[in-house]
Amino acid sequence: MEIQKQVMKFRYHIAAALTVCVLMFSVFYLAPRFLNVLAFFWPLFLSTALFLALVLFFANTQPSPADLPVPAEDLLHFVAGHHPDPPLHKSD
C-alpha cells in the first residue's frame, strides 16, 4: 500500500514524463527529415526571399513620406477622410 500511495502522489509527474517520451519518439522517428521538408518547400522559401528582397529594395529607393509634395498630402488627407469640405452630391 505504501508503494501505491507514492505512485498516486507522483501520478502527474509520471504522466508528464510519459508524454515527453512519446513526443520525443514522435519527433525523432515519425517526423519527416529536415532535408525532405526543405526539398518540398524550396520554391516557397525562394519566392518569399525574393519578395522580401524586393520590398527592401523598393523601401530604400522610394522617397520618404516627408518628401511628398503638398498636393499628394492633400490627396492622402482627402482619401483618409480628413477633409473639411466633403464633395457635394446632387440628389435626383
41-86 pLDDT, tens per residue? 999 999 999 999 999 998 888 777 666 566 667 777 778 876 566 5
Q: Is the pLDDT of residue 18 over 90?
A: yes
Q: What are phi and psi of 90, to 5 degrees?
A: -80, 135
Look at 12 and 71; give whichever has higher pLDDT: 12
Instruction: Please report the pLDDT score of residue 60 as a whole number.
Output: 85
3-state SS class at 59: helix
Mean pLDDT computed over every residue of the chain: 83
Instruction: Please report the pLDDT score of residue 13 as a whole number.
Output: 92
Q: Looking up cell 510519459, which residue turns up?
A: 18
Q: Say which residues have a Cβ less than 8 Å from residue 7's Cβ, sequence separation at least 6.
A: 14
Which sequence spans correspond to the domains of the chain? Answer: 1-31, 35-83
Q: Is the pLDDT of residue 9 over 70?
A: yes
